[in-house]
Amino acid sequence: MSIALPRKRRRKLKGEPIGLYIIITLMAIVVGLPLYLMVINAFKPLEELLLFPPRYYVMNPTLENFSNLLLATNASLVPFSRYLFNSIFVATTVVVVSVLTASMCAYPLAKSKAPGVNVIFQIILAALMFSPLVTAIPRFLIISGLRMIDTYWALILPAVASSFFTFFMRQFFEAQPSEILDAGRIDGAGEWSLFWKLVMPLAKPAWATLTIMAWQSAWNDEFGPVMFTRSEAMKTLPLAIHTLYAGAGLARMGAGAAAALLTTAPSVIIFVFLQKRVIATMAHAGIKG
Amino acid sequence: MATQVVTRQRPKPGFGTRATNTWAEMKRNRAAYFFMAPFLILFFAFTILPVLAGIGLSFTYFNVLQKPHFIGWSNYALLFLEDDVFLKAIRNTLLYAMITGPVSFFAQLGLAWLINSLKYRVGYTLLFYAPSVTSGLAMGLIWRVFFSGDLYGYLNYVLIRMGVIFEPVQWLSDVDTMLPIVILVSLWMSMSTGFLTFLAALQNMDHELYEAGKMDGIRTRLQEFCYITLPCMKPQLLFGSVMAVVRSFEVSGVAVALTGLPSPQYATHTIMTHMQDYAFIRFEMGYAAAISVVLFITMFGLSRILFRVLKSN
């Protein structure tokens, strides 16, 4: 055994393409650089931010920037925590409601032969082929017609209506065997209990993908808050940060970086936890021609 | 129970017309419609209806305050014949799309393939994917420092140190560098849904196929990739390419975050920002709707063409 182990290891190393690692690591450094800058600037004290030439590391990391961020925005009427709450509330609701509505709609789309089902799926598929942004104007008019301007509804409902979510779930269900459902039907289960007892538990791995996609689309949504909100208290994090810091000079660079980090971190953390399941299910997004 | 069994039986053929058969089918499947209803109501209200309404509005003059009135093709005539800024927006959008669309598609595919052949994938996947989950608006703050026009700008500093340039460049307000920078930043953010889909497809490949390929005389990794891997992941490729088209034409968030709206001399003005400009700054909704319709037709048309091409191959 003690001899077999190193040999096995050596063979593995030989099989591992070292050249590939070098190429991809170089690329990773280039891609990671802006993220790295964001992180170090967020923790740099003011004197280090103003150093010339700029340093690529932090000497005395501090949380000053984060506290400045909270204080600076406290001076305006809306506290920073409100933006954070808006973003978290909207994104979480979009995730939960999307998982529900998309799964519910996708189940018959994949498994039912009811008249019209195929036409509906073709329409949803067609809707993947343009950005919802091209419908911004009538959407705005519809939302103001429904008197939803400046409410959470305006940020949540259009995001839930994304064709991708339902398309993806439908593709996922399509790939699942129908036998288990037939068995359930023979046992006398109604569609409603079939859905909750068999279909939804089956769909759990796909929820991960849906969660990350829905979270991102809502969390990073730039247009919804710009178009559908009026008051400062309804703004979400990215928009608030942009308006607060876009024109700010070097002195507030640290707070800007802290804000950017705060906006990016949740999405990255969620992805870290879901990555395995996302990779396991994401292939279902394929479109069979 | 007994009644349920009866209602679930198909009506015998030959009884009644086809329409009543369909109606009976629909009644039999009513549960399916109940399941679909919540999403479909939202989908209709916020996607289908807006597309139709947008097409309708594009033929009107509408300034939000007064009722829209019909003006025929005037908006379109104005758009293509007299609006010089729109022509510039088209040029910028096409330039942007022709670069970011193909480059992001092949970069996503290539990187997914590279990562898939490594043993330590998790960290690399996360790192390449992370830029796409950053917010364009928030990340704009970092880019502004990076591309800042004075000596404090990181890029200027590095390039001057290296002797490439001798004085600081106004990266974000120089007409020649603005669009390339917007393209670069968008590419940085583009390892998104398509990348994950490709990676997922590669990792779920059936390894027996590779074994079979070896029997059939496939020797190099490139041959393996072209003759086995690619054909197997055609559905994912189709999805990824449609997403790349759509994303490459919807550019605006990054452009606005970096260079403002409207940008200096309209250097990063795109069809999308032109639409925003008219809709939410000038409140000429009819005209803005016409711009959206042009964009809609471009995206949808290109995606359909891709669909046809990839389907037949």
Domain boundaries, chain B: 2-57, 74-312
CB within 8 Å: A260 and B141? yes
Chain A closest CA to B246's CA: distance in Å?
6
d(CA B137, CA B258): 8
Say if strands B60-61 and B69-70 run parallel, antiparallel, or are unpaired. antiparallel
d(CA A208, CA B71): 48
CB within 8 Å: B247 and A271? no
Chain B closest CA to A20's CA: distance in Å?
7
Quick check: B12 pLDDT over 60?
no
Q: Indicate the domain borders of chain A.
A: 4-62, 70-285
d(CA B42, CA A101): 10
d(CA B54, CA B52): 5
CB within 8 Å: B124 and A24? yes
Quick check: A3 pLDDT over 60?
no
Chain B closest CA to A165's CA: distance in Å?
10
Provide the percentage of residues in chain B whose pLDDT is more than 90.
50
For residue A263, give the nearest of B135, B245, B303 by CB distance.
Answer: B135
Find, in chain A, the residue whose alpha carbon is nearest to that of B112: A24
Q: What is the mean pLDDT of residues B249-272?
A: 85
> What CATH number does domain A70-285 carry, 2.60.120.380, 1.10.3720.10, 2.160.10.10, 1.10.3430.10?
1.10.3720.10
Contacts of A117 in chain B (CB under 8 A): 32
Closest by alpha carbon to A246, among B301, B90, B144? B144
Closest by alpha carbon to A184, among A168, A195, A200, A173? A195
For residue B157, give the nearest of A54, A140, A227 by CB distance.
Answer: A54
Closest by alpha carbon to A164, among A222, A214, A94? A214
- The per-residue pLDDT for range A123-159, each reduced to its tens digit, is 999 999 998 888 989 999 999 999 999 999 999 999 9
CB within 8 Å: A289 and B130? no
For residue A285, give the nearest of B133, B145, B236 by CB distance.
Answer: B236
Chain B closest CA to A3's CA: distance in Å?
23
CB within 8 Å: A287 and B46? no
Q: Tokens at residue B196, please?
A: 């994950």
The answer to whether the CB of A214 falls within 8 A of the CB of A208 is no
Quick check: A236 pLDDT over 60?
yes
- Residue A185: the pLDDT is 85
Chain B closest CA to A214's CA: distance in Å?
11
Mutate to test the interface with A, among B1, B28, B36, B298 (most CBs of A within 10 A): B36
Quick check: B240 pLDDT over 90?
yes
The answer to whether the CB of B196 falls within 8 A of the CB of B239 is no
The DSSP 8-state label assigned to residue A230 in this structure reads -
The answer to whether the CB of B144 falls within 8 A of the CB of B156 is no
For residue A136, give the nearest of B114, B247, B292 by CB distance.
Answer: B292
- The whole-chain average pLDDT of chain B stands at 87
For residue A161, give the nearest of B22, B43, B131 by CB distance.
Answer: B43
CB within 8 Å: B125 and A275? yes
Provide the percentage of residues in chain A whose pLDDT is more than 70.
90
Listed in sequence order, the DSSP H helices in A63-203 are: 64-75, 80-111, 117-127, 136-145, 152-160, 163-174, 179-186, 191-194, 200-202
Q: Say whether B16 sits in a helix, a strand or coil.
A: coil
Quick check: B98 pLDDT over 90?
yes
- Residue A249: the pLDDT is 63
- Residue A118: the pLDDT is 93
Contacts of B237 in chain A (CB under 8 A): 286
Chain A closest CA to B188's CA: distance in Å?
7
d(CA B58, CA B275): 12
Contacts of B104 in chain A (CB under 8 A): none
Quick check: B18 pLDDT over 80?
no
CB within 8 Å: B204 and A237? no
Q: Which class would CATH give B74-312?
A: mainly alpha
ipTM of the complex: 0.88
